[in-house]
Amino acid sequence: MTAVSSSMSAFRTYRCLWGWPRESGDVMTEKKPDEPEDSDEDWMKYANAGFGETDYSLWDDEEVTEVPIEADGDWDDADESPDQLSTHMEEIPRAPSPAGHKHLVRIGTCDHCLGRLGGKKRFEQSLEESGIEIRNLVTERDSHLSDARTEQPLCPFCENLYEESELLADIIFDSISPYELSRLQLGARIPKDQIEHEEEMRKRFGAGGSDALKSGLVRVIAQHLNKRLEGVTLVNDKPQVLALIDVLTLTVELDIRAHYLYGRYLKLERGIPQTRWPCRACKGRGCQRCEQSGLQYKKSVQDLIGNPLLGLFEADEHAFHGMGREDIDVRCMGRGRPFVIEMKEPKIRSIDAAKAMELINKEADGSIKITGLRDSNRSEVVRVKDTPAEKSYTIRFRILPLSEEEMKVLTAPVDLTHVDVQERGGKGKKKSSKRKRRGDKKNDHKKPLPSVIDVPVGPDEATLKAMKKPELVAMAEEMKLKKSGTKPELIERILAAGPPAPTYLDLPENDEILETITKLSGVKLAQRTPERVAHRRADLIRRRTVYETSNPTIEMMEDGVREVEFTLRCESGTYVKETVHGDGGRTQPSLSSLIKAKCEVLWLDVGDIHAD
């Protein structure tokens, strides 16, 4: 079809739409009365619908020639093409389409981000290599985009962070160089608004599954570090050092993870606590009483082991984790107590364990001795703290007379009807979400009695005779008695008015003591929290079992008092001293209540800890 015929056809269509005469004799007439009122708007409907559109102009006498339109035409000239890119961004396809790659190049994307977002990266390629390849493909088709990066020097995705990745790697390398490590984890701190902006653009223009800004940057930094670090593995969990770089300030924050050592210690000297005790007067701040040390006791098992290791590891501090603890006046013998010591922020991690043990034992000077020192980890801390290991003890005590009133206290009934508030689960029962304490096996812990039995005991005659008369007069006045009279009269008056003198039970025979100790095997104890630790432990009644007793011996001393020594093996968490003396009825049954004699504990040793 020629241009002239096309114009004539369009002209005829134009005449029909405007109601022009079809023939030369026809003329336009006035509006008839019966014609609908909206007929003059019909032509608008056709016009709005796009009917009759044409490029022909009635007032253009020039000959119109048809110009063929290329199918793959590009609107590269901003002066001759519609501003589609600035007003219709959603029409741009995402990478890895050629048009998507072209747009990424046009807006000044750096080579790293081209490789990250282009979706064309091969397995062995780096991000930069993939980006260069994509850029070359785009500029081969559109050579005018070869200077796009120069015209747009700031990458809209990373703001040129990837081009600084080698500098960031150098900063990290310098910061970790003083530390010995084999596992390193990297991280980056990037402003939140930059991350959100990059994510929005990445989801609009980047290929699906493209790496985020932070993870991609960390991966590129890791590639630079791998070329410089020897014997160091970059990991995503359980690192020895976590390096976090701030891209704004170009500073590195290091999280130096602790190094752990496992071993066993023997405490050969009494009067040494297991861990540091802050001074009671200054609460650890340092005062004249503690000689500015901040410690209640100058020595502790923790310091005797940890302080020599500080120099070996070049660490800042140490923490101690033991499998239970013994009292300050109790020795720990046998194979020793398992422990894990934590060296915080060490610069050195590989040491000779044998030489370290030798150094510790030498500087301890006989106070403690450690064995089996080796490298450990954080998981073993949990195992050591939570293992309910049975323990063997050796205890020695004196046999003294026990009054009837004291016997009533030792055997007073204990209320075991209320369920323990800690709700520990047992066998066949739903496990509680709360952490179990070491040695807790069954849900048989009960609340203690709210009150304490108070048995009044008056002075005996021998005590009163040893007192002077003014003291007797003061006592009589306090008891609101007659103060006159001789000393014997005052004694008789006080004895008659006061509580009766205690009546003591007969001391048991040796055979009875030995038999009772033997029968203590297999007994299950109800132990209320002792008074000596009630300020730091929950006031509960715990059920503990004595598994075995052995080697009981009785020795008569020069003062006529018998001393008994025996060994017992019991459940973890058993209060052994209270098992012997009864703790005023808080432990039932107790050896004191069974032999009907007062048992005064002289010393206690941990014989062995049956674990590992």
- Examine residue 77 and state whether it is found in any structural domain, yes or no: no
Domain co-membership, 185 together with 129: yes
Predicted model pTM: 0.70
Domain co-membership, 414 together with 563: yes
Domain co-membership, 403 together with 266: no
SS3 350: coil
- Examine residue 148 and state whether it is found in any structural domain, yes or no: yes
pLDDT in tens, 490-543: 888 887 776 666 788 999 999 999 999 999 999 999 998 888 888 778 888 889
Boundary-marking domain end, from 201, 227, 257: 257
**Tally of domains within the chain:** 5
Boundary-marking domain end, from 257, 280, 310: 257
Domain co-membership, 189 together with 213: yes
pLDDT in tens, 333-364: 999 999 999 999 999 999 999 999 999 999 99
366 pLDDT more than 70: yes
Q: Which two tokens stand for residue 394?
A: 């050796």
Domain co-membership, 447 together with 465: no
Mean pLDDT throughout 419-435?
44
- Examine residue 75 and state whether it is found in any structural domain, yes or no: no
Q: Which residues constitute the domain of residue 14?
A: 1-68
Domain co-membership, 443 together with 550: yes
Domain co-membership, 147 together with 129: yes
CATH at 297: 3.30.70.2510
Domain co-membership, 171 together with 88: yes
Q: Tell me the β-bridge partners of 321.
A: 340
Q: Which of 608, 567, 571 is nearest to 264 (CA)?
A: 608
pLDDT in tens, 68-98: 544 444 444 444 444 444 444 557 888 899 9
Contact 108, 213 (CB under 8 A): no
**pLDDT at residue 433 in the model:** 47
Domain co-membership, 350 together with 492: no
Distance CA 88, CA 437 (A): 66
Q: Which two tokens stand for residue 117?
A: 């977002």
Question: How are beta strands 233-234 and 183-189 bridged, if at all?
Answer: parallel
- Examine residue 112 and state whether it is found in any structural domain, yes or no: yes
pLDDT in tens, 109-146: 999 999 999 999 888 888 999 999 999 999 999 999 99
Domain co-membership, 196 together with 275: no
Q: Which two tokens stand for residue 29?
A: 């007439």
- Examine residue 402 and state whether it is found in any structural domain, yes or no: yes
Domain co-membership, 479 together with 368: no
End-to-end CA distance of the chain: 99
pLDDT in tens, 376-400: 999 999 999 988 899 999 999 999 9
- Examine residue 74 and state whether it is found in any structural domain, yes or no: no
Q: How many CB atoms lie within 10 A of CB 397?
A: 22
- Examine residue 305 and state whether it is found in any structural domain, yes or no: yes
Q: Which of 566, 580, 569 is nearest to 390 (CA)?
A: 569
- Examine residue 604 and state whether it is found in any structural domain, yes or no: yes
Distance CA 328, CA 57 (A): 110
In which residue are the tokens 């929005």 written?
Answer: 200
Domain co-membership, 168 together with 299: no
